[in-house]
């Protein structure tokens, strides 16, 4: 179980709670004055973010982002479509104010950008075709291919832990599952929810196998130095976890009987004990 992101999220939460700002910092006020916040997502990774029937961004992360904006007092959300591999550089280049799309606080990302409190947690599996009986776990992956979305923590995990497999990267998180369904790639490393969504929505003959390979948090990312914005977003997310809003969105967008806050709290508690 990969707990790097969890440990850093805990450290971040402690830092946000205890560190006083040495100088005046107006990143939150700047957005309030502007009346608009730019939030990046892929719009190609259901159930987190995708384009709905009205061609507008939809999904779990989209609804969380809208509610966060409302609670910090910003009236308008402008969603900016981008890819996982561009998110960190996009924040550093001020292409958007936040990234909210199932993004995990990893060691490498935390060197370059900051994260607010986590609003998601999920288990990651290998997916295969329904008719595949040869691959039952990661132990069967020598010489076989695994598809991942470029720039994600899935890619970095696969390159570190699946060195005997061929790691194939895809710019579009949906296309990797299509290639799995037609046999162009042997497996896909994905969250259970992401893979299951593609299976159901697109009618793909795919299934998860074995045990979860890694367990990751997702949290809003923003450029370093924007402490007031980070603190406001963390406060909004913490309140949403506490008052049931996060669970309500998870039930709507992920699974009807799913309790997201249980997984978030369990992950943080486990990391604290580790």
91 touches 113 (CB < 8 A): yes
Q: Which of 5-9, 53-57, 266-270 has the highest mean pLDDT?
A: 53-57
Same domain? For 248 and 115 the reply is yes
Selected residue with higher pLDDT from 102 and 56: 56
Same domain? For 114 and 23 the reply is yes
pLDDT of 220-259, one tens digit each? Answer: 999 999 999 999 999 999 999 999 999 999 999 988 988 9
Same domain? For 107 and 223 the reply is yes
Q: In Å, how far are 32, 62, 137, 194, 207 from 132, measured between CA atoms?
A: 53, 34, 12, 20, 9
Whether the bond between 124 and the residue before it is cis, its omega within 30 degrees of 0, is no
- Mean local confidence (pLDDT), 16-25: 47
**Domain limits for position 167:** 122-215
Same domain? For 150 and 244 the reply is no
pLDDT at position 11: 52
Instruction: Give the whole-angstrom CA distance, residue 45 versus residue 56.
Output: 14
Residue 226, domain CATH: 3.40.190.10
Instruction: Give the whole-angstrom CA distance, residue 187 versus residue 126.
Output: 6
Quote the DSSP letter at residue 121. Answer: E
Q: In Å, how far are 35, 70, 192, 246, 247 from 63, measured between CA atoms?
A: 18, 11, 20, 9, 12
Same domain? For 113 and 51 the reply is yes
Number of structural domains the chain divides into: 2
Same domain? For 110 and 236 the reply is yes
């Amino acid at each position: 179980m990969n707990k790097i992101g969890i440990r850093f999220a805990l450290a971040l939460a402690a830092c946000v709670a205890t560190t006083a700002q040495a100088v005046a910092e107006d990143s939150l006020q700047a957005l309030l004055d502007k009346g608009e916040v730019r939030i990046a997502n892929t719009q190609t990774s259901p159930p987190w973010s995708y384009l709905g029937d009205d061609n507008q961004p939809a999904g779990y992360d989209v609804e969380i982002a809208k509610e966060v904006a409302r609670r910090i007092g910003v009236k308008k959300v402008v969603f900016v479509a981008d890819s996982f591999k561009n998110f960190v550089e996009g924040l550093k280049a001020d292409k958007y104010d936040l990234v909210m799309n199932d993004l995990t606080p990893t060691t490498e990302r935390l060197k370059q950008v900051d994260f607010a409190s986590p609003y998601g947690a999920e288990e990651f599996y290998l997916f295969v075709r329904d008719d595949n009986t040869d691959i039952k776990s990661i132990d069967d992956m020598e010489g076989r291919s695994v598809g991942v979305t470029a720039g994600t923590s899935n890619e970095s995990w696969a390159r570190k832990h699946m060195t005997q497999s061929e790691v194939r990267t895809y710019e579009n998180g949906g296309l990797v599952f299509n290639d799995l369904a037609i046999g162009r790639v042997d497996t896909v490393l994905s969250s259970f929810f992401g893979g299951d969504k593609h299976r159901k929505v697109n009618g793909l003959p795919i299934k998860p196998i074995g045990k979860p390979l890694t367990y990751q948090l997702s949290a809003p990312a923003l450029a370093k130095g924007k402490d007031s914005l980070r603190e406001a977003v963390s406060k909004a997310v913490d309140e949403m976890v506490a008052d049931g809003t996060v669970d309500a969105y998870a039930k709507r967008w992920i699974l009807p009987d799913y309790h997201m806050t249980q997984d978030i709290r369990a992950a943080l508690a486990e990391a604290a004990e580790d």
